[in-house]
Amino acid sequence: MTRRPVAVSNWKMAMTIAESLAWVRDFQAAAGDLLDVVDVIVCPPFTALWATAQASRGSRIQLAGQNMAPTTDPARMGEISAKLLIDVGCQRVVLGHWEVRRHLGDDDDIVNRKVRLALEAGLAPMLLVGEGRDEKAPLPDVLQRRLERVLDGCRAEQVETMILTYEPEGAIGMAAPASPEQAAAGCGFIREWIRERWGNTVADHVRLMYGGSVAPEYAADLLSSPDVDGLGATRRGRNPEAFAEIVRQVARMGLGQSE
Ligand code: PGA
């Protein structure tokens, strides 16, 4: 089974419009034809989405929103709906990120509501699951409970369009990522859980990534498991050259995959 490898650069609240335009220019120069073999997805702040979409036209860079409202109500103050994300050029939206859980109060039920709304609108979720700093239960128990809640009510063909990221909260913003063994265990569990619930076709097609302190020098080891189809980076994702190097490692892993 060959899955198209994927690399995600999430800019969080960084990047003015001018910086975003410079990133697109410099990343394309550094990445060259890597974009032909890796799905590169960029998550700019809402204010830079339009400019980044314009600058990326004609390239294979894809855009995702960093979050979305749990409602379609246009009277909702200060938030962005799935419809508006699609309007500005997003194909995907990040849901379940630890910082949105901590700072904005999303729990598994709200994440599930957002997942369903995104799917209904035609936006593919990039869903983060992992263990929180304070969750002491064994990893499979934590992941199983979380997956059951955040994917509740989703159909097989919907799950297949998603990208799921195994991201332990404790691995965010550190000097080094989780170990390759932990990344493999997290992604491996997620794929087998999906296999049990939705069958082989979905489990073999859905793409899984690792996220949390990814840097070029760790990428190859993190990608050594066949269940890890890609990597997501924030701090190193904002640096076009460092991110291009991560994409290069992802491409190398992809070229090594076989049927
Ligand atoms: P980092 O952030 O790559 O800077 O550790 C990861 C994240 O917050 O998803």
Is 237 inside any structural domain?
A: yes
- Distance between CA atoms of 158 and 34, rounded to whole angstroms? 28
The residue type of 25 is R
Cβ(239) – ligand 1 distance below 6 Å: no
Residue 140 lies in a domain: yes
In total, the chain counts a number of residues equal to 259
Q: Mention every residue, 6+ apart, whose C-beta is less than 8 A from residue 64.
A: 8, 41, 42, 43, 90, 91, 92, 93, 94, 126
Site to probe by mutation for ligand 1, drawn from 234, 235, 239, 243 as the one with most ligand atoms within 8 Å of Cβ, is 234
pLDDT value at residue 258: 41
Tokens of 208: 């899984």
Question: In the beta sheet, which residues pair with residue 198?
Answer: none
Q: Is residue 20 part of a domain?
A: yes
- Ligand 1 site-directed mutation target among 218, 235, 238, 243, most atoms within 8 Å of CB: 235
- CB of 173 within 6 A of ligand 1: the answer is yes
| Residue 214 Cβ contacting ligand 1 at under 6 Å | yes
Residue pair 5/230 in contact (Cβ under 8 Å)? The answer is: yes
209 pocket-lining for ligand 1 (C-beta < 6 Å): no
Residue 192 domain-assigned (yes or no): yes
Quote the ligand 1 centre to 183 CA distance (angstroms): 14
Atom of ligand 1 nearest to the CA of 128: 9
Per the structure, the count of domains in the chain is 1
Tokens 């955040």 appear where? 150
Q: What is the CATH number of the domain that holds 74?
A: 3.20.20.70
pTM over 0.95: yes
Could you tell me the distance, in angstroms and rounded to a whole number, from the CA of residue 243 to the centre of ligand 1? Answer: 13
Q: How far is the CA of 211 from the centre of ligand 1 (A)?
A: 7
DSSP state of 38: S
Residue 95 domain-assigned (yes or no): yes
Q: List the domain range (segments joined by +) for residue 150.
A: 6-255
Q: What is the pLDDT along the chain (259 residues), one digit of tens a residue?
A: 689 999 999 999 999 999 999 999 999 999 999 999 999 999 999 999 999 999 999 999 999 999 999 999 999 999 999 999 999 999 999 999 999 999 999 999 999 999 999 999 999 999 999 999 999 999 999 999 999 999 999 999 999 999 999 999 999 999 999 999 999 999 999 999 999 999 999 999 999 999 999 999 999 999 999 999 999 999 999 999 999 999 999 999 877 654 3
- Which own/partner pairs from 72-78 qualify as long-range (CB within 8 Å, at least 24 positions apart)? 72/117, 72/121
The answer to whether position 194 is within a domain reads yes
State the distance from the centre of ligand 1 to the C-alpha of 166, rounded, in angstroms.
12
Q: Structure tokens of 186?
A: 């997290």
Could you tell me if residue 1 is inside a domain? Answer: no
Beta bridge partners of 62: 41
Check: CB of residue 84 under 8 Å from CB of residue 122: no
Compute the distance from residue 74 Cα to the ligand 1 centre, in Å. 31
Residue 16 domain flag: yes
Phi, psi of 40 (to 5 degrees): -105, 120
CB contact at 8 A, 42 and 64:
yes
Largest Cα–Cα distance of the chain, in whole Å? 50
Which atom of ligand 1 is least distant from the CA of 215? Answer: 3
Per the CB < 8 A criterion, the answer to whether 64 and 93 are in contact is yes
**Going by C-beta distance under 8 Å and a sequence separation of 6 or more, which residues neighbour residue 223?**
230, 231, 249, 250, 253
Write out the catalytic residue numbers: 97, 167
